[in-house]
Structure 1
Amino acid sequence: MRHHKNKPEMKFVKSLGKGTYGSVDLFSYTKQDGTMFYNAVKISDHSQDDNSIKREFRVLKKLRGCQGIVQSFGNSLIQETDSNGKKVYKMAIEYAAGGNLTEFIRVNRKLSDTIVKDFTRMLLQGLVSVHGRGYVHCDLKPENLLLFPRQDQETRLCSHELKISDFGLTIKAGEESVCWETEAPFVGTPLYMSPESVRDGTTVEKTLDLWSLGCVVLEMFLGKHPWLGAGVDDIKSRLLCGKAPEIPESVPCDARKFVEKCFARKAEERGSASELLLHPFLKGEGKVDGDGGGGGERRRVGLRVRKPPSRFEDIAKKSLELKVISSKSSKFKRVLKKPLKVKILPPRPHKI
């Protein structure tokens, strides 16, 4: 007799959001043993937007298992028909319980230097994965950066892992984006687009994402959008005139240099995601392993405080050993030609 394992029971929980190309809902899944897990399901609302979710699914399949990338599930998109008889596609992805970076900044306002460095490092690790496979994300912004809470079992402290999501506009490097239009020749979101995004006939290169990265880092430090209050035409005009978002003096020096490198007018001067991982701004905290500095597993850095001995006398009672070096030693003579004088001080009285 053959036994078939039933699929986990799927139940709608709530809507997570709605955008230009569709919506995202949260579903719970209950296994036969009673355990439960959650997945987010991205749904294309209109048939004309099918290309976006199909493109995203193809890219995410190529990026499965990569660090810093939201993971998708299944071998193909789920095709269904809605109540109006229109064809819709669904894609199951990881559920980010921490929301996105936009929400995180709105709640916490200006982020600390440590958090900004940590998030920047994780974002770059994700870009190393994306660029390493020949893709350009083309729409890097806080709203597309998802946070996954992680609790340390020893310290009980909660941190967040950041991952890149929303690959609906992603294309291969060196190609011209199909999303570019004659009247608005840019790809992505105006607040985070690069100077080359507003030039006609420009092909998309990986350095486009690095300009957007600079905008994201600046927003984490300031707690507000770059180009705040400016319209699309105004932003385009400023970019064509060689201007970049202003970097206030309040931004730390090393971070300022990092953002300035991202905002280099000549795209080739921005370097690469792997090179930016080695920038002084990110050195000294955390550790990145793997190819190009971003392909390995990210290790958390923590401080371990050792407990003092139960009694101070445990140390005080241990005898000290004094090693005497002969003055006839050749090594000793090279270091010191004059005899040493040792001054013995009486012990200090113990203060109560």
Structure 2
Amino acid sequence: MANNNYNVLGVMSGTSLDGVDLAHIHFTETNGKWTYIIGEAETVPYTDAWVQKLKEAIDYTPRQLEQLDHDYTALLANIIREFIAKYNLEGLDAVCSHGHTILHRPHEGVTLQIGNLPQIAALTGQNVVCDFRVQDVALGGQGAPLVPIGDRILFANYDYCLNLGGFANISFEENGSRLAFDICPVNTVLNYYANRLGYPYDNGGQIAEGGQMQQELFYELESLDFYTAPYPKSLGFEFVKGTVLPLIENYNVQTEDKLHTFTNHIASQVAQVLAHKQNGRLLVTGGGAYNTYLIKCMQALMPDMHIAVPDDKAIQFKEALIFALLGVLRLRGDINVLHSVTGAAMDHSSGKVYKVQALA
């Protein structure tokens, strides 16, 4: 009989570059129903030097990427090892780690998450499940989003699950299938302009709220081809760097106005995705859930939607929680990627498993 109790560590680094999220999770499966407890959880921020490296890596040569992957694997392993020691964690079944996305061009068959090299098991002294996206891209899928199966299993009491991280992505059931896709950039753009003003992020959206709407910029953003493309679809930082930021920079307006306009653009895109689903319960997680101005803009466009913002641990560590679940499902040989979401040829169980004993 399969083990029904799991003691794992979920590890996630998102495109907003705020740091590495680590969450100690206990899962229990009883008659097909899963429950979880989030124990110790923490975000370990990157140094300024690492933030700069991760921002620049999209333009690295293959040799530079290889070295970065090696260095980042060592960094990530050290962060994981220190977290385990700090909280005296024992008896872990696995560390389930997403790594950090550097390249994501699924239409070219390319996706790269650094920090997933085999030596991470030996460096952490733990069994590791990681590198969840590559297999899906090889099967013709987008390799993203991967969180929706966790939404289905752990958050079925919500009609829609919206994550506002570096990008906005949404997940919901339709005609018996789980559908999910990326909507638009969020903190990859908002943090860029907050940084320009000397802030790490726009706290509560206060700067954006004080800005003015630039209608021409707003309409040009709304007209980007990605928004009318059919799903499954996903975004990488390439879209922000190559399309969104150059578009915004064409406008000689105040940074506050750019933040105001882009925040309203995010709300507009979310509302358009849910245009025919205006009633229901919408769970909002990710760093953008703290952006009260963005939530206010969304609510104004969707007055009949119940927008639920959960407790801090769920907001901050939902993705670490779900990648922990993906790792557990992989260990069980259960499906953890849905083709209805990614467009792959089939549902599958994805992720590489590195056993510490085999690498010692």
The structure with more strand, counted as a fraction of residues? 2
TM-score (norm 2): 0.28
Larger C-alpha radius of gyration, 1 or 2?
A: 1
Higher helix share: 2
Q: TM-score, normalised by structure 1?
A: 0.28
